[in-house]
Amino acid sequence: MAKKVGPKFDTCFFERYAKLTLETVLGERYSALVNRDRPDLQTDDGRIGIEVTRALKESKIEAIKLLNEMAVAEVRTISDLTEKRGMGYAYGLVDIDSVGTEEYRYWLEASPLKRVIENKVSKVVNGFYGDFEEFGLYIFTKDDVTAEDLLAAMKWTMELQAKAEKQFTTLYISEVQTLYVCDVATLSYKQYPISREMCKNFFVKSV
């Protein structure tokens, strides 16, 4: 009798989700990305390397923890996408505060945005992510991101990696229904909407 295969949960769920978002929203340039490690998404030709992570305010981490402790059964079966949700994922399917039971572990290990950037920049400048022509940092968040947040993130990144040979040139800040693509050098960003249908499609292909 064949062994039943469970959901593919680990951080790769979010790495697959990030890859699908990039190639769908930003186009063919990102279609050659493959899911590896150090960094998580990279092209075989050494052109692009993108590290994928998450950021969350400490107050929201505590709220998610409380939600799951109080209502884990409801979180598992909340909607008619029950088979998928039962596997433990919610990102991209419902409102910003919902968390699947497996995904819960991922968000519990999140840190506030500034701390995440500091950690990842220290690694890129020290060569931890290898040698790529262009480095990007893709950050999932469940926080409500403002223009001030984006500018602060770019300035902080620029300050931390000043004069370093290896740097993050782009920050990809991903809310459920919006992708912000931030050019660190020019302190500018573009905002791309992500429809509910796209979210559902990314979810189904990532889980």
Q: 24 versus 80: which is more confidently predicted?
A: 24
55 or 17: which carries more pLDDT confidence?
A: 17
Q: Which two structure tokens, joined as six digits, stand for 165?
A: 């040979």
Q: Roughly how many angstroms between the first and final C-alpha of the chain, as a whole number?
A: 24
Most confidently modeled of 59-63, 70-74, 185-189?
A: 185-189
Residue 92: predicted pLDDT: 54
Entry pTM: 0.78
List C-alpha distances in Å: 7 to 3, 29, 59, 74, 206. Answer: 13, 29, 29, 19, 10
Share of the chain above pLDDT 90, in %: 49
| pLDDT tens figures, 48-61 | 999 999 887 666 55
Is the separation of the CB atoms in 43 and 32 below 8 Å? yes
Mean pLDDT within 73-97: 44
Name residue, tokens 């040698």.
Answer: 131
What residues contact 182, with CB distance under 8 A and at least 6 apart? 150, 153, 154, 170, 171, 172, 173, 188, 189
- Determine the Cα–Cα distance for residues 71 and 51; give it in Å rounded to an integer: 33
Output the CA angle 53-144-157, nearest 5 degrees.
50
SS3 57: coil
**Look-up of token digits 């998450």:** 54
Looking at residue 204, the DSSP 8-state letter turns out to be: H
% of the chain exceeding 70 in pLDDT? 68
